[in-house]
Amino acid sequence: MLLNRRLFPIAKVKFIINRTSSNINSTNKWISPISNFNYLGVNSYSTSLNVKPASSGIHYITHADLSSQQIYNLIVSAIQHKHNVKYLNKQSGQPLSGKTLAVMFSKRSTRTRVATETAVAYLGGQPMFLGSQDIQLGVNESLLDTSVVVSSMVDGIMARVGSHSDIETLAKYSTVPVINALSDMYHPTQILADLMTMHEVFGPQPKDESSYVAHLTHPKETLPGLKVAWIGDGNNILHSMLVTFPKLGVHLSVATPKGYDPSKDVVKIAQDEAVKTNTEISFTHDPKEAVKDADVIVTDTWISMGQESEKAKRIKDFAGYQVTSSLAKDGGAKPNWKFLHCLPRKQEEVTDEVFYSPRSVVFQEAENRKWTILSVIDALLVKKSFD
Tens-place pLDDT, residues 210-235: 999 999 999 999 999 999 999 999 99
Q: How far is CA 194 from CA 7, 190, 297, 341, 349, in A?
A: 32, 6, 11, 9, 18
Tell me which of 331 and 29 has the higher pLDDT: 331
Active-site pick, 243, 267, 342, 374: 342
Does 300 score more than 50 pLDDT?
yes
How far CA 382 is from CA of 33, 95, 97, 177, 314, in Å, comes to 38, 7, 11, 11, 43
Better-scored residue on pLDDT, 114 or 18: 114
Q: How far apart are CA 173 and CA 48, in angstroms?
A: 18
pLDDT surpassing 70 at residue 205: yes
| Residue percentage of the chain with pLDDT more than 70 | 84
Taking residue 145's Cβ as centre, other Cβ atoms within 10 Å add up to 16
| The pLDDT of residue 56 | 54
Mean pLDDT of the region 139-165: 91
Could you write out the three-class secondary structure of the chain? CCCCCCCCCCEEEEEECCCCHHHECCCCCECCCCCCCCCCCCCCCEEEEEECCCCCCCCECCHHHCCHHHHHHHHHHHHHHHHHHHHCCCCCCCCCCCCEEEEEECCCCCHHHHHHHHHHHHCCCEEEEEECCCCCCCCCCCHHHHHHHHHCCCCEEEEECCCHHHHHHHHHHCCCCEEEEECCCCCHHHHHHHHHHHHHHHCCCCCCCCCCCHHHCCHHHCCCCCEEEEECCCCHHHHHHHHHHHHHCCEEEEECCCCCCCCHHHHHHHHHHHHHHCCCEEEECCHHHHCCCCCEEEECCCCCCCCHHHHHHHHHHCCCCCECHHHHHHHCCCCCCEEEECCCCCCCCECHHHHCCCCECHHHHHHHHHHHHHHHHHHHHHHCCCC
**pLDDT score, position 53:** 80
Question: Which pTM value belongs to this model?
Answer: 0.85
Q: Taking residues 233-243, what's their average pLDDT?
A: 97
Segment 153-158 mean pLDDT: 97
In this predicted structure, what is the pLDDT of residue 65?
96
- How many Cβ atoms sit within 10 Å of the Cβ of residue 83? 18
Q: Determine the average pLDDT of the residues in 309-314.
A: 84
Does residue 27 carry a pLDDT above 50?
no
Distance CA 117, CA 364 (A): 19
Model confidence at 309, pLDDT cuts 50, 70, 90, reads confident
Predicted pLDDT of residue 150:
94
The arithmetic mean of pLDDT across residues 258-283, rounded, is: 97
Q: Is 366 left (phi over 0), alpha (psi -120 to 50) or beta?
A: alpha
Question: Model confidence over 91-141: pLDDT tens digits?
Answer: 999 999 999 999 999 878 899 999 999 999 999 999 999 987 777 665 678
What pLDDT is attached to residue 134?
77
Task: Please report which confidence band the pLDDT of residue 311 belongs to, taking 50, 70 and 90 as the band edges.
Answer: confident
**372, 78 in Cβ contact below 8 A?**
yes
Give the least confident one: 14-23, 242-251, 376-385.
14-23
Residue 2 has pLDDT above 70, yes or no: no
Give residue 172's pLDDT: 94
Cβ atoms within 10 A of the Cβ of 91, count? 10
Q: What's the whole-number average pLDDT of the chain?
A: 87
Q: Residue 261, Cβ neighbours under 10 Å: how many?
A: 15
**Range in 12-26, 160-174, 356-370 with the lowest mean pLDDT:** 12-26
Alpha-carbon Rg for the chain, nearest whole angstrom, is 22
Percentage of the chain beyond pLDDT 90 is 76
Question: Is 342 designated active site?
Answer: yes
Buried b (16+ CB within 10 A) or exposed e, 182-206: bbbbbbbbbbbbbbbbbbbbbbeee
Residue 17: pLDDT over 80:
no
Residue among 264, 386, 259 nearest 316 (CA): 259
CB neighbours of residue 62 within 10 Å: 28
What average pLDDT does this structure show over 28-47? 31
168 — pLDDT class (breaks 50, 70, 90): very high
User: What pLDDT does 132 receive?
Assistant: 77
